[in-house]
Amino acid sequence: MPKDLTFTCSACAAKTSKWSGRCDNCGEWNTITEDKALTSGPKKKSLGGMRGNVITLTDLATQEKEPPRTKAGVDELDRVLGGGLTKASATLVGGDPGIGKSTLLLQAAARFARNGLNVIYISGEESNSQVQMRARRLGLTESPVKLAAETNLRDILTTLEVEKPDLAIIDSIQTMWADNVESAPGSVSQVRSSAHELTTFAKRNGMSVILVGHVTKEGAIAGPRVVEHMVDTVLYFEGERGHQFRILRSVKNRFGPADEIGVFEMTDKGLAEVKNPSALFLSERGAPAPGSVVFAGIEGTRPVLCEIQALVAPSPHSQPRRSVVGWDGNRLAMILAVLESRCGVPFAGLDVYLNVAGGLRISEPGADLAVAAALVSAREDSALPAEACVFGEISLSGALRPVAQAENRLKEAQKLGFTSAITPHQKKQVTVPGLTVRTAHDLAGFVEDVFGARD
């Protein structure tokens, strides 16, 4: 057996040097297949034997500084894409079932088609009549979008070769089937092969392609992780079914900033963009209540204000409960430990519930101080002023660290009518007209200043 021969499990993509009936990684039977090389090129050839054109870095100066883009006319979508759709790009969109991925992309296809692009929408999950029914409900029947219902990858590539569209939307990549791969549609090898063929075709023909990807119960896009490396942009469509708005989040973008978000509201006419997300997230906030704190955060390049809610109650169990929605549970445990060891605020025997209102998910450490304020406020049954916002990072020593783009956060707060803000002490203090900024060096000083001396 040749030494360079490798085998791959079609269920979990694990690689092995020898064939076996059962995969040692996932335990599935009869899923080990031999990896076949795409080409067996000439041996002992240097880089000069490549058929492609090789240029020097200095030649790039004569080319366009920015790749050509086409705007959809939807500011929230264009923002997440980095300024518009880039020619010859591959984009992967993932999200929970029923969250609105197909609705978003059908609306986007209609917008791009109205702006002059030749757009084809290929569905592997619905028939043409079903897509037309959704288009009628959304009021998109007058849009010049071409529809196709197909799952065979060879037929799809042939159609794209004939139609030569500017944009192709594939809904979804898990339904595509390549007849040269011996596995069922949706398997790891099928998803990887289909994504590779579509991405390569798009790059070679100057066509943009958007792939819809299903997600697993953990929230990651189903299939091999290599698919996310193949494409240029990875977007996640998030939201809670109990809330009317959805968040389109960029986690990878070769043509713009990552971690950018676009906010949409689900209506009976489809998805409508939200021009001011901060006002939406704070729209249902009532009178000041213990455990409610407004956090001035940054999502990508945009400042976003949201409400962090905490509830602290005596626990009837020997092991107190810690429940978190919209934030990192491990970071909550760290904040509780710092409050207890550095500030003398115990949470033993107390259940702690933390929620980011509106279904927004926060990942930046700048929310530490707002979370700590919400926890202490809930425990002491003492509400913060309604016109105050909070942000800052907490270290394990209890010190408060400044966060990036403090001025943008404060300007957004002032624009929404807030009159005061509590932030970590910075070497160069930021001043915003109409906004009073209070600073603290450490968490203990913050707790004493805002809630009074602790016992």
Distance CA 96, CA 324 (A): 20
Nearest CA-CA partner of 373 in 325, 440, 455, 278: 440
Binding residue numbers? 95-102
Residues 204 and 101 in one domain: yes
Chain segment 277-331, per-residue pLDDT in tens:
888 788 777 778 999 999 999 988 889 999 999 999 999 988 999 999 999 999 9
Judge if 318 and 442 occupy the same domain.
yes
For residue 214, the 8-state DSSP code is E
Least confident of 5-19, 100-114, 201-215, 315-329: 5-19
Report the pLDDT value the prediction gives residue 62, as an integer from 0 to 100: 52
Q: What percent of the chain has pLDDT over 70?
A: 89
Q: How confident is the model at residue 45 (pLDDT cuts 50, 70, 90)?
A: very low
Question: Is 394 in a helix, a strand, or coil?
Answer: strand
The domain in which residue 323 lies consists of 280-451
Q: Flag the least confident range among 47-51, 64-68, 335-339, 414-418.
A: 47-51
| Angle made by CA atoms 395, 303, 297, in degrees to the nearest 5 | 25
Single residue among 234, 252, 275 that ends a domain in this structure: 275
51 part of a folded domain? no
Least confident of 58-72, 179-193, 402-416, 418-432: 58-72
Confidence category of residue 64, pLDDT binned at 50, 70, 90: low
Q: Is 53 domain-assigned? A: no
Give, as one character, the DSSP assignment of residue 187: S
pLDDT, residue 222, reads: 63
For residue 45, being part of any structural domain is answered with no
What does each C-alpha distance from 292 to 144, 214, 353, 381 come to in angstroms? 48, 35, 12, 10
User: Which string of b and e fits 207-243 if b means at least 16 CB within 10 Å?
Assistant: bbbbbbbbbeeeeebbbbeebbebbbbbbbbbbbeeb
- If one counts the domains in the chain, the total is 3
Residues that constitute the known binding site for ATP: 95-102
Prediction pTM value? 0.77
- What is the chain's Cα-based Rg? 26
Q: Answer yes or no: is 44 within a domain.
A: no
Cα–Cα distance for residue pair 112/135, rounded to 1 Å: 15
CATH number of the domain bearing residue 345: 3.30.230.10
pLDDT digits (tens, 9 = 90+) for 272-281: 998 888 887 8
Give Cβ neighbours of residue 417 (< 8 Å, ≥ 6 apart).
387
- Last residue of a domain, which of 275, 303, 324? 275
Per-residue model confidence (pLDDT) at position 44 = 47
Q: Is the pLDDT of residue 410 over 90?
A: yes
CA–CA distances in Å: residue 366 to residues 242, 245, 406, 430, 442: 27, 24, 10, 16, 14
Q: Is residue 49's pLDDT more than 50?
A: no
Tell me, yes or no, whether 77 lies in a domain. Answer: yes
Digit-coded pLDDT (tens) for 161-173: 999 999 999 998 9
Where among 275, 308, 334 does a domain terminate?
A: 275
Lookup: tokens for 373: 């304020």
Judged against a pLDDT cut of 90, whether residue 50 lies above it is answered with no
Strand ranges (E), 357-396: 388-390, 393-394
Residue appearing with tokens 């034997």: 49
